[in-house]
Amino acid sequence: MINVSLDNVLLNPNSHRIRSQVESHVNADQLQREPFSESAQDFIADILREFDGFQSLVDSLHESSQLEPGIITAEGVLINANNRAVALRDLNEKYIRVGVLPEEATTQEITELEARLQLAKDYKQDYTFTNELLFIQEQIDAGMSYEDLAILLGKAQSRRPAHLRKGVADIEQSLRILQHIREVQEMSGKAIKLTFFDPHQSALVEADSAYQALREQDPAQARRVRDGRMAGVLVGVTYRNLRNWDSDHFLRDYVEPQFDHGDLLTAIDSSSIAGDGQDAGDGLDIFEETGQEDRPVDPSRMLAAAAQRYGADDEATVGGITKRELFDGLHERFTQAAEEKGLDLRDERRKLRPIDLVVDARKKVSRAREALKNAQTERGFDRGKFGYEIRRLRKELDSLAEAGGLDG
């Protein structure tokens, strides 16, 4: 380990902790062209300062100085400790303690080292959702097996078949979600930044799970469910409300009644989707219309409408309504549909509640009968108290039957 001047280390523009933020940055082109220029390095430092916990790191280093060394390449690029380098600079420190990798270290070796350092469960800061998606895609593209990547990221606890199956399934889901995100970004003309999706991990994971549950038997319905959920994400519907969109039943009985044939539906219908002359490319084809029913409210068009207008000014008018009116209208209708389904489910649960309780009581009586066989052979069994409770139970049953109109 050696002490290196902070003036001589370079912040890593390819760190998988900030890849999503770099891609989404307003100066992304410059960061890609000249990542080690002074201005680009300043942009990276600003990105790192925005992470939760950065100020706590500064305070910790102020009190205890640097306890853990970082790792740099022979060229001076930090593999980890980028946050620490920025924090130390902010504290006007002169040096950072690091270990230097040998010149012959390969890109893949460096990547795996970074993953072990940055993605370890006991590490102070995890990757953001989209940064992990990018890392997974990069490693698969580089030829790493799904099983090895699952082990590396801790998604498989061991190489036992059951653990590997679960880990591989997580990797496959991450790849599907990233492809879905990329397709939506393309629809928006790249107006939707990758970092937009970081707070929506639960909604995207659940949308993919719902899609997978339906795709074998009814791929068209599966697309409608997923497109509807993604449209909800874009307009700000909570993931708890989006959970209600689990089938065409929700679309038919709850979403469609929220729409009339006014300007909002006209604006949605005017949106182009893949299958209307656009090339969706290979992959999931989430906007493909082949085999879909001609529904009065098309989730693929709702998603297209939201995505294509995402980068517009709030008051920009397309299809007779402003972007704000479109987004507010979709948000209001999706939320109202979810709330109405919630009310219906609560009503249904209220109807079933007495039956469920009687079923539970019957099962307990059955268990009591089995327990009685053993209890009666034990000294001290209180037969009188048992008989008293049986009489009370019969009285409650008679009262329940009478309340339900079953007496006689």
pLDDT single digits (tens) 61-104? 998 877 788 999 999 999 989 999 999 999 999 999 999 999 99
272 pLDDT above the threshold of 80: no
Task: Give residue 214's pLDDT.
Answer: 96
116 pLDDT above the threshold of 90: no
Q: What torsion, rounded to 10 degrees, do the Cα atoms 136, 140, 142, 147 define?
A: 100
Task: Give residue 350's pLDDT.
Answer: 86
How far is Cα 343 from Cα 349, in angstroms, rounded to an integer? 10
Decide: 207 and 183 in contact? Cβ < 8 Å.
no
Indicate the pTM of the whole model: 0.77
Section 245-257 average pLDDT: 94
Q: Which residue has the higher pLDDT, 154 or 198?
A: 198
In three-state secondary structure terms, 2 is: strand
How far is Cα 302 from Cα 99, in angstroms, rounded to an integer? 52
Task: Give residue 260's pLDDT.
Answer: 75
120 pLDDT above the threshold of 90: no
Helix H or strand E encompassing 132: helix 129-141
Task: Give residue 277's pLDDT.
Answer: 38
| pLDDT per residue as tens digits for the range 279-289 | 334 444 444 44
The DSSP bridge pattern shows strands 95-100 and 317-318 to be: unpaired
HSE-CB for 263 with a 13 A CA cutoff: 11
Q: How many CB atoms lie within 10 A of CB 392?
A: 10
84 Cβ contact list (under 8 Å, min separation 6): 57, 61, 66, 68, 70, 96
Decide: 243 and 206 in contact? Cβ < 8 Å.
yes
Task: Give residue 113's pLDDT.
Answer: 87
| pLDDT per residue as tens digits for the range 102-115 | 999 988 888 888 87
Task: Give residue 275's pLDDT.
Answer: 41
Q: What are the residue ranges spanned by the domains of the chain?
A: 2-123, 128-187, 209-347, 378-408
Q: How far apart are the first and last CA of the chain?
A: 89
| Residue the block writes with tokens 């989430």 | 286
Q: In the predicted model, what is the mean pLDDT of the chain? A: 89
| pLDDT per residue as tens digits for the range 360-403 | 999 999 999 999 998 998 888 999 999 999 999 999 999 998 88
Amino acid at site 224? R
In three-state secondary structure terms, 155 is: coil
Task: Give residue 291's pLDDT.
Answer: 47
Task: Give residue 188's pLDDT.
Answer: 96
Q: Classify each residue of 310-332 as buried b or exposed e, where b means 16 or more C-beta atoms within 10 Å of its C-beta.
A: bebeeeeeebebbbebbbbbbbe
Q: Which fold has domain 2-123?
A: 3.90.1530
> Which residues, in sequence order, are bridge partners of residue 98?
2, 70
User: Sign of the CA dihedral 32, 34, 36, 42?
Assistant: negative
